[in-house]
């Protein structure tokens, strides 16, 4: 899908892996077979009154009642209350909220409060299944229509819908395009229409789904039913496209802050990436996480290395057999503490709320990509970490990939700008979050929860080393017409005695040995930062270093060159962080054993039922239980995440676990 000429994916020809196979055929819903169904007579489509049989009656008198009884939440968060009130009153809404912001509640609650059934359009079968499982566990009558079902299962769902027995029905966009499905939906009564992952309608985004374009037609098919478009994509262009293409001219717009305060951002220089990664992952022992790498090969090698280190790591990329991918994904979702090592093919539509870390061992190509990938951590709002190592090699490699991409100049320039913004985030001496949110047009102060805030980096004056390096490059080029990569240039500057230096006579250059005061690592840091700022450029197939327009001013000493001093293992990963689960990080020492006991109980329950642990209870609920230690069923009321259905199902068991500790 990503390689579609329509998608305009700026990275289509740069990705190392095949397009994300979240949209791969094995997960895409198949178009419905023509089941010979005929549209119902006009009469069946007229709006029904409250007493009409076959129309699902309102189950909850108010939004607050639904929130408490079904989900066990005491209050709406952020914009949720305003969105729900607006939609319950019949208004259309465009909702931009970051991952983990709580979008589901904003369409599920109106569906529960209004008369009729809520229709949710969701692009992925896996997403639909997760949501229906979670709703069912909360006692909501939800079902989906997709190609994984047998005709008789589908017929059951259709019958239940038409007779008004469903609170919510999930349907894939391609299925909705069929007249038979539209006609079926018209035989019942819809309370609200929610278009999830609405950015899939954007032809310029990398998740473009042609079937989303047809969803604008819902405006005519179901006039009078409030419609919502929801997405976690932040850019203004996508926002405008959603509004226009989904035909929501009168919608109210709810744009939340895109900050994810529970995610700690950390970016370290890449020195020995595997060892650095292993140290970081071991710091999060027993927690679920995703490690992103660019190439399939590096995914496999990294997963193998981590397994050798005793980590329960699994590889995932588009080149793996579909069965293997499905198995790995299912283990990641259902078991505690699995680490998925993956290309960007993995993650979209993964609703797992308790991913505690996202690690990058290669530089993402844009800030958007970085934000989206790191955003898969901590959907549940609990403390999580986004960690990355990046180095000189990443910069050289990505510049080269842009250089060699087949696009025209404007296209390459755009890719270059994406990369520059990403590098600026990596090299900033200011708050990472401030930089990240600033990129999306949102102003903020220093966050206190990123590596630069926690340990402000030193800067040092890099002018003289920069001049030594640049003049070495100038001499080689002018006097001998030669160009070299970083490794050899550093050897010259440090006065190394290598075969190549002797052969080329580079020990006779006037800058030979002039930079012996800096270590190899220091020099790589200097070069990386000069590249990031465009004072140097990497050229050609081998990434040789050359001068840029900005080099002259530095050579003449007319530009300042403040550099960030690299520190390894800053703000944890190197061991400064206590080795306990991030979910339990806010818990007192005394409550930890109970938290762990509840976690073990939850794992048993999940295994027994064959559902992911978070379907039983989220980490936030376990934390509240460990802290508040309710001693009776009555005291469970008010614990976040325990609604009526779960109190009935698990209440006694949970109280017993607590009593035993
Ligand atoms: P999104 O779809 O925006 O990524 P979700 O709807 O999956 O977010 O919600 C993210 C998490 O926040 C879930 O674990 C959910 O249970 C929790 N949540 C949502 N709304 C509330 C609320 N009002 N109170 C407490 N927890 C909430
Ligand atoms: Zn910060």
Q: On the CB side of 187, how many CA atoms lie within 13 Å of its CA?
A: 16
In angstroms, how far is CA 160 from the centroid of its own chain? 35
* Shortest-distance atom of ligand 1 to CA 80: 23
Q: Identify the nearest ligand to the CA of 131 by its number.
A: 1
pLDDT above 80 for 142: yes
* CATH classification number, 582-659, choose in 3.40.640.10, 1.10.150.80, 1.10.390.10, 3.40.50.300: 1.10.150.80
Are the beta carbons of 55 and 200 closer than 8 angstroms?
A: no
In angstroms, how far is CA 228 from the centroid of its own chain? 22
* Shortest-distance atom of ligand 1 to CA 74: 24
In this structure, which residue's CA is closest to atom 25 in ligand 1?
Answer: 73
Residues whose beta carbons lie less than 5 angstroms from ion ligand 2: 431, 433, 447, 450, 453
Burial 253-269 (b: 16+ CB within 10 A, else e): ebebbbbbebbbbbbbb
Pocket around ligand 1 at a 6 A CB cut-off: 73, 76-77, 80, 97, 99-105, 353, 379-381, 618, 640
CA 7 to ligand 1 centroid distance, Å? 30
> H or E element: which one contains 143?
strand 142-145
In this structure, which residue's CA is closest to atom 2 in ligand 1?
Answer: 103
Q: CB under 8 Å to 186, separation ≥6 — which residues?
A: 39, 40, 44, 45, 221, 222
* Shortest-distance atom of ligand 1 to CA 73: 24
CA 376 to ligand 1 centroid distance, Å? 13
List, for residues 427-464, the tens digit of each pLDDT value.
998 899 999 998 888 889 999 999 999 999 989 999 99
List, for residues 553-569, the tens digit of each pLDDT value.
999 999 999 999 887 65
Are the beta carbons of 483 and 453 closer than 8 angstroms?
A: no
Residue length, the chain?
Answer: 661
CA 462 to ligand 2 centroid distance, Å? 24
Topology classification of domain 459-564: Arc Repressor Mutant, subunit A (1.10.10)
pLDDT above 50 for 33: no
The token duo for 108 is 């599920």
In angstroms, how far is CA 500 from the centroid of its own chain? 45
List, for residues 252-295, the tens digit of each pLDDT value.
999 998 899 999 999 999 999 999 999 999 999 989 999 999 99
pLDDT above 90 for 124: no
Range scoring the smallest mean pLDDT among 14-23, 250-259, 438-447, 629-638: 14-23
Are the beta carbons of 23 and 30 closer than 8 angstroms?
A: no
Are the beta carbons of 300 and 315 closer than 8 angstroms?
A: yes
Residue-level pLDDT at 7: 31
List, for residues 199-217, the tens digit of each pLDDT value.
999 876 667 889 999 999 9
- Nearest partner of 276 among 301, 298, 306, judged by Cα: 306
For residue 5, give Cα distances in angstroms to 12, 206, 312, 384, 471.
9, 11, 39, 37, 45
Are the beta carbons of 53 and 352 closer than 8 angstroms?
A: no
Q: Percentage of the chain surpassing pLDDT 70?
A: 88
pTM here is 0.80
The answer to whether domain 42-255 and domain 459-564 are alike in fold is: no
CA 103 to ligand 1 centroid distance, Å? 7
List, for residues 233-244, the tens digit of each pLDDT value.
777 788 899 999
Q: On the CB side of 255, how many CA atoms lie within 13 Å of its CA?
A: 12
Class of domain 263-454: alpha beta
Give the start-to-end residue ranges of the domains of the chain: 42-255, 263-454, 459-564, 582-659
Q: Hey, which residues does 536 pair with through a beta bridge?
A: 547
Residue-level pLDDT at 206: 67
* Greatest Cα pair distance in the chain: 96
Are the beta carbons of 360 and 370 closer than 8 angstroms?
A: yes
Confidence category of residue 541, pLDDT binned at 50, 70, 90: confident
Q: Which of 63, 85, 102 to mutate to test the pocket of ligand 1 (most atoms within 8 A of CB)?
A: 102
CATH architecture of 42-255: 3-Layer(aba) Sandwich (3.40)
In this structure, which residue's CA is closest to atom 24 in ligand 1?
Answer: 73
CA 618 to ligand 1 centroid distance, Å? 10
Q: Hey, which residues does 267 pair with through a beta bridge?
A: 388
CA 431 to ligand 2 centroid distance, Å? 4
Q: Which of 105, 107, 198 to mutate to test the pocket of ligand 1 (most atoms within 8 A of CB)?
A: 105
> H or E element: which one contains 180?
helix 179-187
List, for residues 179-189, the tens digit of each pLDDT value.
899 999 999 99
């Amino acid at each position: 899908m990503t390689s579609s000429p329509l998608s305009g994916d700026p990275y289509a020809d740069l990705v190392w892996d095949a397009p994300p196979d979240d949209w791969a055929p094995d997960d895409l819903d198949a178009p419905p077979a023509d089941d010979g169904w005929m549209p119902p007579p006009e009469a069946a489509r007229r709006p029904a009154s409250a007493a009409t049989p076959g129309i699902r009656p309102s189950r909850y008198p108010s939004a607050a009642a639904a929130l408490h009884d079904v989900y066990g939440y005491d209050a709406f968060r952020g914009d949720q209350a305003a969105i729900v009130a607006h939609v319950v009153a019949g208004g259309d809404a465009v909702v931009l909220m970051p991952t983990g912001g709580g979008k589901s509640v904003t369409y599920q609650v109106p569906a529960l409060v209004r008369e009729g059934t809520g229709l949710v359009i969701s692009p992925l079968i896996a997403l639909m299944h997760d949501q229906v499982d979670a709703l069912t566990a909360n006692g909501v009558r939800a079902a989906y229509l997709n190609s994984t079902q047998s005709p008789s299962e589908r017929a059951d769902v259709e019958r239940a819908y038409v007779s008004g027995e469903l609170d919510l029905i999930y349907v894939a966009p391609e299925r909705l395009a069929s007249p038979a499905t539209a006609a079926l939906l018209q035989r019942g009564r819809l309370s609200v229409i929610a278009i999830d992952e609405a950015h899939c309608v954007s032809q310029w985004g990398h998740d473009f789904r042609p079937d989303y374009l047809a969803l604008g037609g819902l405006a005519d098919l179901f006039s009078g039913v409030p419609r919502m478009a929801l997405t976690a994509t932040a850019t203004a262009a996508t926002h405008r496209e959603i509004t226009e293409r989904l035909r929501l001219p009168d919608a109210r717009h709810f744009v939340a802050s895109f900050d994810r305060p529970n995610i700690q951002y950390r970016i370290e220089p890449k020195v020995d990436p595997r060892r650095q990664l292993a140290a970081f992952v071991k710091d999060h022992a027993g927690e679920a996480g995703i490690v992103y790498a660019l190439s399939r090969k590096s995914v496999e090698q990294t997963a193998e290395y981590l397994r050798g280190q005793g980590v329960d790591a699994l590889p995932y990329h588009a080149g793996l057999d579909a069965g293997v991918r499905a198995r790995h994904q299912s283990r990641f979702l259902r078991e505690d503490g699995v680490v998925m090592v993956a290309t960007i093919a993995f993650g979209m539509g993964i609703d797992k709320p308790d991913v505690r870390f996202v690690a990058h061992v290669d530089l993402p190509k844009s800030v958007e990509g970085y934000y989206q990938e790191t955003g898969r951590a901590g959907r549940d709002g609990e403390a999580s970490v986004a960690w990355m190592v990046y180095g000189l090699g990443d910069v050289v490699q990505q510049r080269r990939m842009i250089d060699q991409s087949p696009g025209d100049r404007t296209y390459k320039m755009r890719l270059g700008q994406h990369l520059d913004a990403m590098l600026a985030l990596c090299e900033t001496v200011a708050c990472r979050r401030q930089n990240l949110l600033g990129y999306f047009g949102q102003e903020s102060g220093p966050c206190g929860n990123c590596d630069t805030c926690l340990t402000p980096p030193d800067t040092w004056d890099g002018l003289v080393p920069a001049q030594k390096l640049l003049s070495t490059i100038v001499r080689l080029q002018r006097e001998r017409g030669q160009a070299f990569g970083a490794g050899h240039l550093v050897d010259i500057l440090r006065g190394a005695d290598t075969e190549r230096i002797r052969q080329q006579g580079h020990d006779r250059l006037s800058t030979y040995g002039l930079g012996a005061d800096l270590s190899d690592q220091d020099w790589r840091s200097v070069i990386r930062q000069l590249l990031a700022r465009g004072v140097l450029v990497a050229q050609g197939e081998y990434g040789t270093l050359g001068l840029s327009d900005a080099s002259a001013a530095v050579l003449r000493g007319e530009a300042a060159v403040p550099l960030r001093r690299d520190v390894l293992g800053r703000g944890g990963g190197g061991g400064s962080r206590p080795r306990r689960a991030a979910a339990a990080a806010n818990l007192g020492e005394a409550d930890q054993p109970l938290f762990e006991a509840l976690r073990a109980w939850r794992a048993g329950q999940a295994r027994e039922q064959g559902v992911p642990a978070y379907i039983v209870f989220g980490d936030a609920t376990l934390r509240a239980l460990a802290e508040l230690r309710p001693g009776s069923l009555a005291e469970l009321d008010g614990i976040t995440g325990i609604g009526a259905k779960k109190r009935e199902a698990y209440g006694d068991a949970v109280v017993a676990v607590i009593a035993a500790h």
